[in-house]
Structure 1
Amino acid sequence: MSPDTLLGTIGLENVSVRIDGRAVLSDVTLELAARRIAVIGANGSGKSTFARLLNGLVAPSSGKVLVHGMDPVQERRQVRRRVGFVFSNPDAQILMPTPAEDLALSLRGREGGEIADRVREALHAHGLAEHADAPAFSLSGGQKQMLALASVLITEPELVVADEPTTLLDLRNSRRIGDLLLSQSAQLVLVTHDLDLAARCDTVILFDEGRVVGLGEPAAIIETYRWTAG
């Protein structure tokens, strides 16, 4: 794969991942350019490992990964400036004592005035203004996930990778987070068990036992998954 041909795309070529001697992904080849990409499959099918390949949290045991023309392992710093990663458990992502401080951390290195303005705007936009200086641990589950997502979006990434971001949320908060993710102009890779949310994406990838067994229009791939899982 040439980096020039994959600029703005996500490409995997013959990628396998082994962890503790176990094959987690096997010979995965993909080229993705859709704006909203859902990733579905059973627990243990390789979905999260695929997601973590995209910002260098996991390295391939063999094969090649390019994200917008960059190797996530060899060019990790550049990739992480452009790729925002949202975890399923926001407690793993919130690092600072308060929401305002956590958002400011994402903007470290910028001028103080710009940081203050953008943090204030983000808190307001995501319904967290009244909790700006509250202890982050005191937020509800939905507010924590909103803060975790806001801390990614405030950096204006080109690609957002969200690994089951609604798993721990109730229906109302799941819809809020889903709507926010799907409304972004950035490219989105969304790992999810929520098939209604996956159906709103532009394309769907189906994993099974570490392999891609379906890729294409959401309705068809989701129906395949329902049939095989049924």
Structure 2
Amino acid sequence: MDIRFEEAEAHFEGRTVLHPLTLSLTERRIGIIGLNGSGKTTFARMINGLVAPYAGRVTVNGFDTARDGDRVRAEAGFIFQNPQNQIILPILREDMALGLKSRRLPTREIDAAVNGVLSRFGIGHLAERRAHELSGGELQLAALASVLVTRPNILIMDEPTNQLDLRNRDLVERTIRGLDEDVIVISHDLSLIADFDRVLLFHEGRLAADGVPWDIIARYREIAA
């Protein structure tokens, strides 16, 4: 992972939602925390080009998010807070194949890639299921599979354990811990990121703290008190 912010800032409806920021991210597991409206989701969306910098520059593995949007999104996949909104086609197997069909890959290659990811996560039994039939944890895994089948090097997840019961939360956490890809996780679930390599704390549109989890989580508790 090689993500660089160079005096990058973001505005929304004339308001600054992320003040100018310069930093680089190279660790394999990075957590992002902060109160609602702190700028953390805007920061994460700037990484894969969902939000363009109002000023400054953001690069991902050498690609500029403003100029090289398609290449950036190929490098960094994004899983939204509500995964059901991300699954476009009703059947999981069809949804997973959709992103590969847009690349005009041969059918045999698409089938092999889809079956490989289904097998990797042990969710082959969900392949022909409809999204509305899946549990919360299964939906997260379905969204994860649909992104990872396109082979991004970086995976960005927005509140992946939000509103999950304990069983499904543990299922998603185990899956995240077993990923080979570099991971950036936005979360209010502090235990999920407690052993990550690095944690960023955002507050009022600024990077308020940056360091090891136990230190940054303690700072966050002070802000949230």
Q: Does 1:41 align with 2:51?
A: no
Task: Show the counterpart of 1:164.
Answer: 159
TM-score by length of 2: 0.94
Shift of 1:21: 1.3
Q: Deviations over 1:73-114 (max 9, x none)?
A: 210011111111111101221011201101111322222112
Match of 1:23 among 8, 16, 23: 16
Contact 2:60–2:75 (CA<8 Å) still a contact in 1? no
1:229 CA displacement: 1.4
- 1:42 Cα deviation after fit: 0.5
**Is 2:89 the partner of 1:96?**
yes
Q: 2:191 aligns with which of 196, 199, 202?
A: 196
Give the superposed CA RMSD.
Answer: 1.4
2:24 aligned counterpart, secondary structure: strand
Q: Which moved more, 1:175-184 or 1:145-154?
A: 175-184
Q: CA deviation at 1:72?
A: 1.1
CA contact (8 A) 1:9 1:69 kept: yes
| Structure 2 residue identity aligned to 1:148 | A
Number of aligned residues: 223
Equivalent of residue 187 in structure 1, options 182, 185, 188:
182
Question: Percent of aligned positions with the same letter in both sequences?
Answer: 43
Q: Structure 1 counterpart of 2:210, which letter?
A: L
Q: 2:70 aligns with which of 77, 85, 90?
A: 77
CA contact (8 A) 2:79 2:144 kept: yes
- For the pair 1:62 / 2:55, whether they are aligned, the reply is yes
Structure 1: how far apart are the matches of 2:106 and 2:87? 22
- Mark the runs of 5 or more structure 2 residues left unpaired by the alignment: none
Closer/same/farther in 2, CA of residues 21 and 56 from structure 1, 3 Å limit? same
Superposition misfits of 4+ residues, deviation over 4 angstroms: none
Residues 1:107 and 2:111 aligned together: no
TM-score normalised to the size of structure 1? 0.92
Contact kept, 8 Å, 2:74 with 2:151, in 1: the verdict is no
Unpaired runs of at least 5, structure 1: 1-7
Measure how far apart 1:127 and its partner are. Answer: 3.7
Q: Secondary structure at the match of 2:63?
A: coil
Q: Post-superposition shift, 1:138? A: 1.6
Residue in 1 that maps onto 2:224 = 229
Q: Deviations over 1:102-138 (max 9, x none)?
A: 1111322222112212222322333432232222222
Return 163-172 or 142-151, whichever deviates more: 163-172
Instruction: Specify the code of the residue in structure 2 equivalent to 1:26.
Output: H
1:39 maps to a residue whose letter is: I
Partner in structure 2 of residue 4 of structure 1:
none
